[in-house]
Chains A and B, each alone.
Chain A
Amino acid sequence: MTAKTPTLAVWKFASCSGCQLTLLNCEDDFLSIVGAIDIVYFPEATKTMADGPYDLSIVEGSITTAHEAEQIQRIRASSTTLITVGACATAGGIQALKNWADVDEFISIVYPHPEFINSLGTSTPIADHVKVDFELHGCPISQRQLIEVIDSFLHRRKPNTPSYSVCVECKLNETTCVMIANGTPCMGPVTRAGCGALCPAFNRGCYGCFGPSETPNIASLRDLWHSIGVADADLALALRTFNAYAPEFREASDHYVG
């Protein structure tokens, strides 16, 4: 008896679609993925839009409207396993900056017909609304890690997605520390690995795209950034980017914003 091919649904909430496109960009591996899993709902890739239940739902984007808040409940109810991907789904994304602002004021300035806009005052991660089985971080996510997560789902094993800092990847890649050698402010020591330490490899500081590492010591990083001439307000800006609403970055940015 052969096992039934598991079904996959890919969902989009408030996001730029970059993370779900990571799946389409898998090229050679994409053929292996579609050979191993049956994509039954993926509006950005296929016209097929089958009803659930789904064995695996991959969810991109954050919750920013009342409609989305309802929809994610239905998705959860019809999914055996639900995995969120990207900074929007796991931390509210860059649009979570509105959590610190007056959204009605934005709407009144930006839209000619503000009455058409029905948006919540917040952008929140999926896990604030439903139980999430696994979170894959990154803005955008790493293709290698996405394949690893799908593969581990198919083989019923734990994914190898370390939560230690970007510094580990720099060292494994033999990349010289840009803070120590060049005095470049770098978020690497407080940022989760996964990107392969891309920016330091090009002599840039880490921007924190993958969100907080497992035990980020932001107070100590702040003292270090101070010593290389970065003011608290600038540290707060660096924390309030793609993963601004991730708890550790959120609390530290509130503290240092001044």
Chain B
Amino acid sequence: MSADNRETILQASGLVMQFGGLRAVNNFDLTLKKGDLAGLIGPNGAGKTTVFNMITGVYTPTAGKIEFGDQEITGLEPFRINQMGIARTFQNIRLFPTLTVLDNVRIAYHPHAGYSMMDGILHNKKFQVKERELTERAQEFLSVFNLQDRQGEIASSLPYGEQRRLEIARALAAEPRLLLLDEPAAGMNPNESVALMDLIHFIRDRFKLTILLIEHQMRVVMGICEHITVMDFGEVIARGNPTEIQANTRVVEAYLGPGAAALSEKFRRKK
């Protein structure tokens, strides 16, 4: 990343999150450049989702600073951070369960609706024009994800894979510049994971996004991330591209236990 003159989109420095006596995240730094597709990995309880929650404003960091573009967003409310251009999906899918697929996406588009509440109550000309625009835009998002024929269905009745896709579609409808995906491949079979990887590449190029994702499936992470940050017990233990990470002793030991790196080395030599 030395000779990189792309603009920095997210800069987190010295993030600390303390829950009572537990330091969930300690001294976390992260820099994302425009167009990055970065991964955040680590064993369970390493503090990855806490980092997401700090970036999206669900938690206010105990210490540290987060800058998005040239604005500081530390401690802002989640909805403001979303409106500034950071959207996310959740580890356990959080759709609006009893609403239609279309409405799920239209809600995310609300900050861009472009008419006032008075227009909404009166249902005047401006409302009708803007509402039609909004609906067509939402349907566009759905068709990108191949969900356009499902628009009238209730979100919770969709199969799991489609719920995941809908959640990503909904996050994109907020028109973000940075997209945070929390375990997008969780619960997917290998085929679905491959399709998901294509999809993530596709949306990054089509919507000119920067993407940061948390993922446990190494196949997905190593397959699509250009840059990986590894966390363990709230601390960053390694950074680098997939090959560097795979060769890193500390990473292997964090996942498989102390001594595992030496063992795997022995195993490799035997082969």
Partners in one complex: no
Point out residues on A near B: beta carbons under 8 Å: none
Point out residues on B near A: beta carbons under 8 Å: none
